[in-house]
Amino acid sequence: MAQKVLSILIPAYNEAPTVVELVRRVREVSLPVDKEIIVVDDGSTDGTRDLLKNLPQDQIKVLLHDQNQGKAAAIRTALAKASGDFVIIQDADLEYDPRDYTALLTPLLDGRADVVYGSRFLGGPHRVLLFWHYLGNKIFTLMTNILYDVNLTDMGTCYKAFNAAALKAIPLSSSRFGIEAELTAKVCKRGLRLYEVPISYSGRTYAEGKKITWKDGLTYLWCLLRYRICD
């Protein structure tokens, strides 16, 4: 029986301080499946794409956007090239730890789940930081639970792992960070088998490069309401 493959999609925009170390961690993590690493440079202007071009190209696929289009566009570009049985989304910073991949994969490998979210609020170690981001995510998670009749603890997590066929069957249309809310809404609306597992989290400050803002919170709100009605 052929070895299963995990496609790791890494959208990157102006992540020169972290992207090389992140790719190293992804490459070195031991998994029960083979790995396919796809990095999309989303129009970086800080030297990120030059760093990516210098990485061993036989071990990763590097795709380039001529201009910044947003996280959602980068994920769609990577997904179109993904050939694995499973897919996980990995930000190019160091907030999420690839050593959590095995926990995310387990419910997929044993056939219990179609989708697995890594929750930052189920007891894993996390950096103490940014109360208003925490509160905002709690509010949007509550809204998700009410609108879609689920009991998630972390709708905004980056760590979303999928059966590749299930993910590719979902039409994605949002831009930028709205992809997080769109994916959650459409996964729930389609009744896919969704699991959560605890993960570690090392959040960063804006001075350290964090990009999501209150405006993205408005996008979350719009997406949650829009996709409750529309596909």
155 within 8 A of 141, measured Cβ to Cβ: yes
Structure tokens at 18: 């972290």
> What are the φ/ψ torsions at residue 212 (nearest 5 degrees)?
-70, 140
Share above pLDDT 90 across residues of the chain, in percent, rounded to a whole number: 58
Strands (E), the chain: 5-12, 34-42, 61-65, 86-89, 115-119, 160-163, 194-198
1 confidence band (pLDDT: 50, 70, 90): low
May I ask the CATH architecture of the domain 5-229?
Alpha-Beta Complex (3.90)
Q: Which string of b and e fits 79-104 if b means at least 16 CB within 10 Å?
A: beebebbbbbbbbbbbbbbbebbebb
Q: 16 pLDDT exceeds 70?
A: yes
Question: Which of residues 151 and 132 earns the better pLDDT score?
Answer: 151
pLDDT in tens, 44-89: 999 999 999 888 877 799 999 999 998 999 999 999 999 999 999 9
Question: Which of residues 127 and 52 earns the better pLDDT score?
Answer: 52
pLDDT in tens, 149-198: 999 999 889 899 999 999 999 998 877 767 888 899 899 999 999 999 99
Q: Tell me the β-bridge partners of 62.
A: 39
Domain chopping of the chain, boundaries: 5-229
